[in-house]
Structure 1
């Protein structure tokens, strides 16, 4: 097969890969096709094994650039296996397998050489989905709150559109001038869809993305400290939110939130968080069980997950798991710092921060919304790939801002 045919095949496969990523989102809809989407999502995990094997066999040069990432993901994966064994949960290995498959997916995406033409393709495909959602929104009367399309609830629609938004933002610099008008329209439409979904956590995600992008524009040194500040904020948010829910300001804050967003500020998460913390502290070091859900330890609860990714990791694997997860995040962050001269790495790093803020009130990186989690890890991992192949990128001015 000549080089031209190889490039064509690579381009087609990348398009098919991204199309399946989008198709997987049908798992969070109320449509009959959701069963097929669950199947394709499972296939994607296993295809990742072949991608990892192929890229490792090629012995990609520059792997030392992402050593912190390798260290972090290895420690996190091995740590989860060790905690699982310590807790003696041999009867249920499926949930642990899911986490390990996520890690394989992350490794696979991080080792693929993504080019501008790929991001242009992903950008146009994302714009197509955004346009379809926009048309449906108008046809349904252009409601200004709680728009959810065919998806189970508005919050999931909001975070899905936020994932789609990443690709036009990355691709806009690679397309001809007139095409940028279309991309600007698509970016604006995505922001409108997020707003009318009333997904406040996603609005916070976007604020984090654009604020961190602004900080990066002015100072890489300040940008470096954002991960640490964000993790401190996440801890502070959890504690303060729970305290305010039990304070005299509860009613006033709820009323203010309804006036502004049309939703209560305290929707019940504070109740499940208190129960999670209390149960988690019974086995603080190694946690209880990978994949544990509220109904396993909160009698009569209607919550299907903890609504906080960090609490979920804590209750599954304790302080040990949390420390390893933070080291994993820090490893990714250290790698990003080596490629901030490139647009794709900058956007990936900023969305990384936004996604971590989003995990304060949802669980999407592991379990729960798996199709959304794959999209979010894809966004995070293409930035790692950008650093891995930075030598190639230096010779292509299109990568630079």
Structure 2
């Protein structure tokens, strides 16, 4: 059963236009990663999206919009998380944390704003106009470049191409489901996947596989509240275990044969240098376990390596400790429980599958509210679309 909704034609046009502009600016925001003056264009685009959506929440409420219980609970949790983030800043008198704290608040605000919108295919289909252009530009650059491996397009890092292709594919899949010209979307999905392979990003391929598995098993995962809670609990346990076990793999006997197999078949090492970062960083986390070192702290500040932590969960433990990490996980858990409360809506099912893939991806990157923010905003957008379907078809306003 698919949720249905009726809207005034004028409302559809306004919501579609707003969503189209915001999505376009998020993709333009990918230029923020460039090592040139164009990065300022990307920064301005992302800044506009965050400001517009966060201010938009207040206008929606002032105009009689209702806030949903889940949204209200997320706002309460975000307020608690903000206080936790502020504590290390006041403790250490390091006010450089302010921007990162604001960024976190506004990313969640972006999620809440999008979840207010009553979205269906008629409003989302316009986004594929931008998606098609975005993907074909990168595909043409790949062809002109001579079909290279480790394809980075015009970005400085090939690890950016894979995520952009994967997260924009969310909208192609919706097009393939509801559009009459399915063959076009299937072709574009193939192009998108080819570019993921060309980027040689293993983390994205793992995320793709995760999304497929969760989507296929959705009805089993959502069969009961106990299973939904158990699934999320096992997921977070696996992520934390990954942080503390993965760096120590070379200490085990099975590592050398496995490493040789990996090098022979993929040309890449299992470790990818993360063990040199994670082992000393986990030791530093234990020195400030409760509230961390502050939101402005990066791995370089603590261990001297000129590299990122490349893991959202470890980075969060480093910045705001186990207390802040716990509140963040509760926010994600709240969203997960709301998404998994619906079994049969295609948008919700796809959004939930991508959410798990996003959480898996964060084992290798820090994009949800730091670093490559345009990727993070695509991630929040995908999750918010699933929530919007639930909120606007359930009577749970307060």
TM-score above 0.5, yes or no: yes
**Contact in 2 for aligned 1:63/1:388 (Cα 8 Å):** yes
CA distance in structure 2 between the aligned counterparts of 1:345 and 1:28, rounded to whole angstroms: 30
**Contact in 1 for aligned 2:262/2:270 (Cα 8 Å):** yes
Structure 2 residue aligned with 1:150: 154
The equivalent position to 2:173 in structure 1, one of 159, 169, 182, is: 169
The equivalent position to 1:17 in structure 2, one of 17, 22, 26, is: 22
The equivalent position to 1:356 in structure 2, one of 350, 356, 359, is: 359
The equivalent position to 1:229 in structure 2, one of 229, 234, 247, is: 234
CA distance in structure 2 between the aligned counterparts of 1:346 and 1:68, rounded to whole angstroms: 22
3-state DSSP of counterpart to 1:142: coil
CA distance in structure 2 between the aligned counterparts of 1:340 and 1:187, rounded to whole angstroms: 25
Q: CA deviation at 1:45?
A: 1.5
Where does structure 1 differ by over 6 angstroms across 4 or more consecutive aligned residues? none
The equivalent position to 1:321 in structure 2, one of 297, 320, 324, is: 324
The equivalent position to 1:339 in structure 2, one of 328, 334, 342, is: 342
**Contact in 2 for aligned 1:84/1:289 (Cα 8 Å):** yes
Alpha-carbon RMSD: 2.2
Structure 2 residue aligned with 1:288: 293
The equivalent position to 2:275 in structure 1, one of 270, 276, 281, is: 270
Range 260-269 or range 373-382, more displaced: 260-269
Q: Does the alignment pair 1:33 with 2:38?
A: yes
**Contact in 2 for aligned 1:213/1:350 (Cα 8 Å):** yes
1:174-204 CA-to-partner distances (Å, cap 9, x unmatched) read 211xx11111111121111111211000011
| Number of positions where the alignment pairs a residue of Structure 1 with one of Structure 2 | 385
**Contact in 2 for aligned 1:365/1:374 (Cα 8 Å):** yes
The equivalent position to 1:192 in structure 2, one of 180, 191, 194, is: 194
1:125-162 CA-to-partner distances (Å, cap 9, x unmatched) read 2133222222222222223x311111121111111111
CA distance in structure 2 between the aligned counterparts of 1:7 and 1:366, rounded to whole angstroms: 29
How has the CA–CA distance of structure 1 residues 296 and 129 changed in structure 2, closer, same or farther, with 3 Å as cutoff?
A: same
Q: CA deviation at 1:65?
A: 5.5
The equivalent position to 1:367 in structure 2, one of 359, 365, 370, is: 370
Structure 2 residue aligned with 1:220: 222
Q: CA deviation at 1:81?
A: 3.3
TM-score by length of 2: 0.89
**Contact in 1 for aligned 2:61/2:67 (Cα 8 Å):** no
1:88-132 CA-to-partner distances (Å, cap 9, x unmatched) read 434642222222222222222222222312221123421332222
TM-score by length of 1: 0.89
How has the CA–CA distance of structure 1 residues 67 and 346 changed in structure 2, closer, same or farther, with 3 Å as cutoff?
A: farther
Structure 2 residue aligned with 1:396: none
3-state DSSP of counterpart to 1:93: helix
Structure 1 residue aligned with 2:185: 183
**Contact in 2 for aligned 1:284/1:319 (Cα 8 Å):** yes
**Contact in 2 for aligned 1:25/1:37 (Cα 8 Å):** yes
3-state DSSP of counterpart to 1:390: coil
